[in-house]
Structure 1
Amino acid sequence: MEKFELHILGCGSALPTTRHFPTSQVVNIREKLFMIDCGEGAQLQLRKSHLKFSRLNNIFISHLHGDHCFGLLGLVSTFGLLGRTADLHIYSPKGLEELFSPLLGYFCNNLLYKIYFHEFVTNKPTVIYDDRSVSVTTIPLQHRIPCCGFLFAEKQPPAHIIRDMIDAYNVPVYELNRIKNGADYITPDGEIVPHSRLTRPSSPARKYAYCSDTRYVESVIEQIKGVDLLFHEATFAQAELPRAKETFHTTAQQAAQLAKAAEVKKLVIGHFSARYEEENILLNEASAVFENTVLAKELLCIEV
């Protein structure tokens, strides 16, 4: 099975604590790294995760609150110090380029690589990235400012060649890619050998959904239906529901209700309020509704 991993770099909320870094994650799909949000300290956590800086070419920013983007300038600068030459693409709601351009011009004016900012709308799902391995679609959320989550949908891997059958029919090497991608094989004598006889199906394509920051919105359910892994913010416990509503955040119980309604396979909760010295209160609350729930924590790696 091809690699598809989620690395948690930080899972705290806006107020700093000694327990958590601000929000940042890295998705590793077939050794391509995609960063989601870039709070302060993200590059330090990237080092600790033993992930290669050179494989990170795309960064997705959910919204323009500092705890989700204050780490960008340091990361961009470090890339420069490392002699990076590959382009860097940053996707965000409108406004990030305008905010960061003066800082980049002052602190990072001798970069050997180019930075491209891509703005996306936040009121409808939009495909903002697509390659042979994965597509990334925005998930409209409801926060105090324009905000989107992200749906990472793996492309179906090619079928696996059955080596014994390939040898039995003396299939030339140059035919293998066609066969893996669904073509039948025609022998020199004109016999048609079905694709299904020469291959076995690859593993099902997987999906990861990221939803932070947002109030409880049932409109996301259809878009995240059946995903293999869902990260959903759980800033507060249910006892703080009025505060959650006021700040456009979600409780752990509400996150679990969404996971259950969407029939996801696994839920990881994070973006914890600094008021909780012990997050098990949030885990217990969510697990009572959706059993397959885990707490996010720094340097946690989850295989999708």
Structure 2
Amino acid sequence: MSSIKLTILGCHSATPRVNAFPTAQYLEINNSHFLIDCGEGTQRQMRKYKVGFTKIDHIFISHLHGDHFYGLVGLLSTYGILSRDKELHIYGPKGIKDVTLLQLKISQSHAKYKMIFHELSSKKSELIFEDDKVSVSTIPLHHRVYTNGYLFVEKEKPRKLNMLNISGYPEIGRADYLNIKAGKDVVLSSGEIVQNSELTTAPAKPLSFAFCSDTSYKPDIIPIIKNVDLLYHEATFLEDREDLAIKTKHTTAKQAAKIAKDSVVKQLVIGHYSGRYKDLSLFKKEAQEIFENTELAEPGKVFSV
């Protein structure tokens, strides 16, 4: 069973179009649920692809360009209409609290649930969220405004019980299982110590997902995202417009693939395509020349690990 399930809600750059939706992703990791970016039309896409509104308690916004957060105030208003009562945590650049609360105030959108804003300003990677299931750290990026990507890492799961070996020790009962799964040895009444390694097997390696939003080519993020299982990296342009990528502080498909290769990631997903390109297969072709395991982000497409 997969521990990571990423649903692409939107993956195009700039303005919404008939069949093109700005950036938004729904991430399920280790039974936790997160919304990453919230461009216009995100609510519509959430309904279309059956994303559970009520499961989301944490929203991560990469930067304050419209195609990444103009859908946020609408979503927050909808939560109010749906009589949400759970608190909601919103992470994003400094200023996100003011701009969001002002819109809600002027539109008289009265939400009864508590919104907790976590405003970011550091240009160094920092841990911004952690519970017993997952940790989230920032990935400092380089764009025209202050921008972060986000690294999601599963917490290590408990060790698995080796019931065959445990059955060889009648003294060991169900009451001992929790301590054994936590890695503790067992001391028998005779004084004999049964090593935990005999009673358990190691859990699966914790999985990880890195979201790299709008950014120029930035190799110094490689140590942060090294060996991740799934990487989303923007690829606004093809190599033929690298000059425009540099000017607008975006990345080409080839550059995104080089980041993936040098980071030794397992799989790369690219998106945020410029509207000037009609054949998106060219993005995949260009990236796969550098990094074979590359897929295109598409609205409604699900990536599982």
Superposition TM-score tier, normalisation by shorter sequence: over 0.9
Tell me how far apart the structure 2 counterparts of residues 108 and 137 of structure 1 sit (CA, whole Å): 34
Shift in Å, 1:155: 1.0
Deviations 1:64-122 (A, max 9, x none): 00100011111111112222111000000101111111112234643221001101124
* 1:178 match: 179
Shift in Å, 1:262: 1.1
Aligned-residue CA RMSD (Å): 1.4
User: Is 2:156 aligned against 1:160?
Assistant: no
Instruction: Tell whether the 8 Å contact from 1:213 to 1:233 is kept in structure 2 after alignment.
Output: yes
Tell me how far apart the structure 1 counterparts of residues 226 and 125 of structure 2 sit (CA, whole Å): 14
Shift in Å, 1:165: 3.1
Count of residues paired in the alignment: 304
Tell me how far apart the structure 2 counterparts of residues 191 and 48 of structure 1 sit (CA, whole Å): 59
* 2:273 match: 272
Instruction: Tell whether the 8 Å contact from 2:62 to 2:213 is kept in structure 1 after alignment.
Output: yes
Instruction: Tell whether the 8 Å contact from 1:122 to 1:147 is kept in structure 2 after alignment.
Output: no
Tell me how far apart the structure 1 counterparts of residues 98 and 53 of structure 2 sit (CA, whole Å): 25
3-state SS, counterpart of residue 19 of structure 1: coil
Instruction: Tell whether the 8 Å contact from 1:7 to 1:27 is kept in structure 2 after alignment.
Output: yes
**Which letter maps to 2:286?**
E
Change (3 A) 1:263 1:108: farther
Change (3 A) 1:207 1:169: same
Instruction: Tell whether the 8 Å contact from 2:157 to 2:204 is kept in structure 1 after alignment.
Output: yes
> TM-score, normalization: structure 1?
0.96
* 2:117 match: 117
Instruction: Tell whether the 8 Å contact from 2:209 to 2:228 is kept in structure 1 after alignment.
Output: yes
Change (3 A) 1:17 1:166: same
Tell me how far apart the structure 1 counterparts of residues 206 and 253 of structure 2 sit (CA, whole Å): 28
Instruction: Tell whether the 8 Å contact from 2:7 to 2:27 is kept in structure 1 after alignment.
Output: yes
* 2:249 match: 248
Tell me how far apart the structure 2 counterparts of residues 289 and 147 of structure 1 sit (CA, whole Å): 26
* 1:192 match: 193
**Which letter maps to 1:214?**
T
Shift in Å, 1:44: 1.7
3-state SS, counterpart of residue 245 of structure 1: helix
Higher mean alpha-carbon deviation, 107-116 vs 135-144, is at 107-116
Shift in Å, 1:227: 0.9
Deviations 1:164-216 (A, max 9, x none): 33343242323212111110112233221111111111110111111110000
* 1:53 match: 53
Shift in Å, 1:53: 1.4
Tell me how far apart the structure 2 counterparts of residues 302 and 279 of structure 1 sit (CA, whole Å): 18
Tell me how far apart the structure 2 counterparts of residues 9 and 162 of structure 1 sit (CA, whole Å): 41
Higher mean alpha-carbon deviation, 252-261 vs 73-82, is at 73-82
Tell me how far apart the structure 1 counterparts of residues 53 and 186 of structure 2 sit (CA, whole Å): 42
**Which letter maps to 1:244?**
A
* 1:78 match: 78
3-state SS, counterpart of residue 111 of structure 2: coil
Change (3 A) 1:107 1:167: farther
3-state SS, counterpart of residue 299 of structure 1: coil
Name segments (4+ residues, structure 1) moved above 6 Å. Answer: none
3-state SS, counterpart of residue 98 of structure 1: helix
3-state SS, counterpart of residue 209 of structure 2: strand
**Which letter maps to 2:129?**
Y
3-state SS, counterpart of residue 7 of structure 2: strand
In structure 2, the gaps of 5 or more residues are: none
3-state SS, counterpart of residue 225 of structure 2: coil
* 2:14 match: 14
Instruction: Tell whether the 8 Å contact from 1:16 to 1:274 is kept in structure 2 after alignment.
Output: no
Instruction: Tell whether the 8 Å contact from 1:31 to 1:55 is kept in structure 2 after alignment.
Output: no
* 1:26 match: 26
Tell me how far apart the structure 1 counterparts of residues 106 and 164 of structure 2 sit (CA, whole Å): 61
* 1:3 match: 3
Tell me how far apart the structure 2 counterparts of residues 108 and 222 of structure 1 sit (CA, whole Å): 45
Change (3 A) 1:76 1:55: same
**Which letter maps to 1:141?**
L
User: Is 2:290 aligned against 1:289?
Assistant: yes
Change (3 A) 1:167 1:44: farther
